[in-house]
Amino acid sequence: MKRTVTLELGSRKYKFTTTDPQSEVDETLKNIKEEFENYSDVVEKYGYDRILLMMLLNNVHEKLVLKDRIARMNKKLERKIVE
């Protein structure tokens, strides 16, 4: 079922629609809020757009690093299975 969710970051509110389970939405919002809090002291200096862009870039980078790490672990596992 589609529902609208509101994410509050600092003085701004962002609304989006989702069908994801509430537990996943809660965990996602919690993580975003925690990450945003790490940069809250520089929001006035750089603005929301730059902070959110930096968060997005960090997230994508982390995803790529984890994807590479999983691929390397799979290769090691495949080698051990062959031995």
Average pLDDT (56-79) is: 95
Over 80: is that where the pLDDT of 4 sits? yes
Number of structural domains in the chain: 1
Distance (Å, rounded) from C-alpha 38 to C-alpha 58?
Answer: 13
**What would the 3-class secondary structure string for the chain be?**
CCEEEEEEECCEEEEEEECCCHHHHHHHHHHHHHHHHHHHHHHHHHCHHHHHHHHHHHHHHHHHHHHHHHHHHHHHHHHHHHC
Whether 51 contacts 39, CB under 8 Å = yes
Average pLDDT (60-83) is: 93
Average pLDDT (40-45) is: 90
**In the prediction, which pLDDT does 51 show?**
94
Distance (Å, rounded) from C-alpha 1 to C-alpha 9?
Answer: 25
Over 90: is that where the pLDDT of 82 sits? no
Distance (Å, rounded) from C-alpha 13 to C-alpha 50?
Answer: 16
Over 80: is that where the pLDDT of 73 sits? yes
* Domain range enclosing 24: 3-82
